[in-house]
């Protein structure tokens, strides 16, 4: 399962330093991506809503990797305010090290803007034999600092 670290930075100028440091960890450049809100949204017709399309697609992709609605909204709001996102995808240890880099470099803590984690109903498995051979882990992993880790 892929693992991705996502960090929101208030100052997009610091983003390149973060990317260089993450690449020095051994993650290939194609697995380290950055995103800022486009300065100009090209209108292609009367029914063209490029800013809305950008925001909807970003929220969809963030949720696909495990972000909650409130987290996706917080990332989007950070971009609207002039911030930038850094994504690093790869093996567990390298992605965790990338999250550490993001945190040292000032990734914004979005938890204060986010709602509670979803409370999903559980199932009692008292009378079943646990299957320990197939671990499935998906969603967000809590980490101290601003960067979030997602397994998807």
Domain that holds residue 94: 3-119+136-151
**Relative orientation angle of helices 92-104 and 15-23, to the nearest 10 degrees:** 150
In a domain, 130, yes or no: no
Tell me if 50 is assigned to some domain.
Answer: yes
pLDDT of residue 128: 55
Is the pLDDT reported for residue 18 higher than 80? yes
pLDDT digits (tens, 9 = 90+) for 121-141: 555 555 555 554 544 444 545
* CA pair distance 52, 49, nearest whole angstrom: 5
26 lies in some domain: yes
What pLDDT score does 129 carry?
Answer: 56
- Give the percent of the chain with pLDDT over 90: 55
Q: Report yes or no on 129 lying in a domain.
A: no
Residue 127, domain member (yes or no): no
Domain assignment present for residue 32? The answer is yes
Q: For residues 116 and 86, which has the higher predicted lDDT (pLDDT)?
A: 86
Q: How many domains does the chain have?
A: 1
Question: What are the C-alpha distances in Å from 1 to residues 13, 29, 84?
Answer: 31, 20, 25
Q: Is-above-0.85 flag for pTM?
A: no
Asked whether residue 128 is assigned to any structural domain, the reply reads no
Residue 104 lies in a domain: yes
């Amino acid at each position: 399962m892929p693992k991705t670290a996502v960090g929101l930075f208030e100052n997009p100028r610091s983003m390149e330093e973060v990317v260089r440091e993450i690449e020095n960890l051994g993650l290939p450049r194609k697995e380290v991506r950055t995103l800022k809100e486009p300065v100009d949204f090209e209108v292609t017709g009367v029914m063209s809503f490029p800013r809305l399309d950008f925001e909807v697609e970003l929220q969809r992709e963030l949720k696909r990797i495990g972000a909650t609605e409130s987290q996706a909204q917080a990332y989007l709001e950070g971009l609207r305010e002039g911030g930038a996102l850094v994504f690093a995808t790869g093996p567990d240890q390298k992605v965790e090290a990338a999250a550490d880099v993001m945190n040292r470099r000032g990734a914004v803590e979005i938890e204060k803007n986010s709602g509670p984690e979803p409370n999903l109903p559980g199932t009692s498995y008292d009378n079943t034999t646990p299957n320990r051979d197939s671990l499935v882990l998906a969603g967000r992993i809590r980490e101290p600092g601003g960067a979030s880790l997602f397994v998807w």
